[in-house]
Every structure is written in structure tokens, then in C-alpha cells.
Amino acid sequence: MKWDKYRGYIIAATAFLVFLIFYLASSVSSVNHAVRAFDESWQESADRNQNDTTDVCAIPGYLELVREKAFLGAQVKMAASDSIGMLINVRDSVIQLLIKGLPVRTIRIEEHDLSPFFRRVNQEALSDMLSSPITITSMDATFRKDPVTIKIAPKDTSEVKVDAKPDTTDFEAVFFTLNTDRNIRIYFEQQENKRVADRLARFFFDLKDKIMYAGRSLKAIAVMDKPPYVPYIKIWIPKAEAKIVYRAIPREGMIVFRQ
């Protein structure tokens, strides 16, 4: 066999393989870097005696009390706002929309997935970060947030028509993303996934997100920097409920999160 004929393909395949390995290694490294940076930042800002070597996190029940304090404190702060707030409680598999601290709608979480970041960071530091509400900075969805209905006014009473019964059949795929001020991205996806149109919508919505992340990663790798890492929270709830949540929360709304 004449290998010279395939030399170009072999070189290209080898280069691609090396790049892929480097990309994967950099991605894993970026997670470690994000965890380390988060912990170090908290250690520097925490008001504590550096000579105290007592591991308070090892005290039975300590972390649970810290988490509960942070959870209640964040709810109190969110209740001070006049806007609708959202409480995400993955421990109890519940989402609530609240006004002044009072729940106006409760939704059951069918399934969820948390970034390894939440498990690996210092839990006391994480509770400290979650002791105040997370603020939404931007959002993206597969459907309109504020639906617009255009109606032409009749010229006189003879043109007035009684509105037909609205079509309650909803074929819109419901997938949306919330970016926050804590560098945490929250994904909401409909639980139903039987229709081809829904599966396609999910595929292209995920693809758009992956392309954006890949683009940022390649830019970082090109300058020998670590790819950006954004911790994520993925939540699956019924389609109708997901649409209600997206349209109810303000564009700069607040979120209380309990893991």
C-alpha cells in the first residue's frame, strides 16, 4: 500500500485528534479552575481567623443549618420586591412563583440535573452565595415571551362579530434559558418529547447553545487561555407549566435556589 497517497488525510486526522484531546482536557481543566477560583475568592472575602484550623463543616448538622439560613434569608430579601419571584427547590422537586413571599403557583419538577460545580465547591461558600436572590440578566426561548394579538376595530355595530372560541391546542415547543448575575445558567425544558416537532426544537435549541459555547472555547484556546465554564441547572417540567413560568417572571426577575 502506498502511504504517500493518504499522507494528507493521516496528517489531518492526527491534527484533529490532537486538537480534540487538547479541547477535552481544557474543558475538564476549566471546571477545576472555576471551582478553585470560587473557593479561593470566598476564603479571601470571608471574615474568619486564618489561624483557626477547626473544620466547622465537619460538625454534624452545621452545613444543614447554614443552608437553611441562606435559603430563608434569600426568601426574605426577595419578598421585599413587588415583582413576581421564582423559588427553585430541587431538594423537594418544587418550583414556586411568589409575590411578596406568598406562593401563587406551585409546579412539580419532573426531573433535574445540576452541574458538578455545585457538588464540588465549598458548601459553606455556596450557601453564602445563595443567601441572596439570583437576578436574571437575560433570557432566550423557542417562543414569544409577550404574545401579541392584532385585532382590527369594526367600522360600525354591523361588523361586530362574537369572538370564536380560542384554540386551546398548543403546538409551540417550550424550551428556554435564563442567564444570571451569578454566572449560573438555568435551562427549562418541557417534559413532553413525543412529537417530532418538539424533538427537533429541542435539538436546535441545544445545538445553538453548544455552538455558542464552542465558539467561546475556541477563542480562549486560540490565545492559550482556559475555556469559560458556566455552572448550569437543568429542569424538566410539564410544557404548559414551563410556558407559564417563562411569561410570568420579569426580565430582570429574582430567583431563590435551594439544592
CATH code, domain carrying 106: 2.40.440.10
The pLDDT of residue 154 is 61
The pLDDT of residue 45 is 73
> Per-residue pLDDT for 53 more than 70?
no
Give me the number of domains the chain comprises: 1
Q: Is residue 158 situated within a structural domain?
A: no
> Per-residue pLDDT for 174 more than 50?
yes
Q: Is residue 161 situated within a structural domain?
A: no
Which cell goes with 148? Answer: 401579541
Q: Is residue 83 situated within a structural domain?
A: yes
Q: Which residue has the cell 494528507?
A: 8
Would you give the DSSP letter of residue 220? H
Q: Which domain holds residue 89?
A: 7-46+54-153+171-258
Q: Is residue 164 situated within a structural domain?
A: no
pTM: 0.79
Q: H or E stretch including 235?
A: strand 232-237
Q: Is residue 160 situated within a structural domain?
A: no
The pLDDT of residue 244 is 93
* Closest alpha carbon to 230 in 170, 167, 180, 183: 183
Q: Is residue 30 situated within a structural domain?
A: yes
